[in-house]
Amino acid sequence: MNRKPVVFRDKEVAPDRWDGAGPGTTRCAPDWLALREPADAAARAAALLGPLRASLSTVGGRLVIRDVGCGTGSMARWLAPRLPVPQHWILHDRDPALLARASITGTGVTVETHHGDLGRLDLGGTSLVTASALLDLLTLSDVDGLAGSCAAAGCPALLTLSVTGRVELTPADPLDAEIAAAFAAHQRRNGLLGPDAVAMAALAFERRGAVVRLAPSPWRLGPRQRALTERWFRGWVAAAREHAPNLDTAAYTRSRLDACAAGELRAVVHHTDLLATGAS
User: Is pLDDT at 119 greater than 60 in this prediction?
Assistant: no
Q: Is residue 258 part of a domain?
A: no
Q: The domain spanning residue 31 has which CATH number?
A: 3.40.50.150
Residue 125 lies in a domain: yes
d(CA 196, CA 65): 26
Asked whether 200 and 142 are in contact (CB, 8 A), the reply is no
Q: Is 115 helix (H, G, I), strand (E, B) or coil?
A: strand
The pTM assigned to this predicted structure is 0.91
Local confidence band at 115 (pLDDT 50, 70, 90 cut-offs): confident
Residue 182 lies in a domain: no
Q: Where does the pLDDT of residue 1 fall: very low under 50, low under 70, confident under 90, or very high at 90 and above?
A: very low
Interior/surface letters 205-232, b for 16+ CB within 10 angstroms, e for the rest: beeeebebbbbebbbebeeebeebbbbb
Structural domain that includes position 144: 15-164+191-218+270-277
Domain for residue 45, yes or no? yes
Structural domain count, the chain: 1
Nearest to 44 by CA among 65, 16, 74: 74
pLDDT tens track for 212-255 = 999 999 999 999 999 999 999 999 999 999 999 999 999 999 99
- Identify whether the C-beta of residue 66 lies closer than 8 Å to the C-beta of residue 128: yes
Specify if 250 maps to a domain: no
Is 173 in contact with 204 (CB distance < 8 Å)?
A: no
User: Does 212 map to a domain?
Assistant: yes
Q: Is residue 3 part of a domain?
A: no
Q: Is 202 inside a domain boundary? A: yes
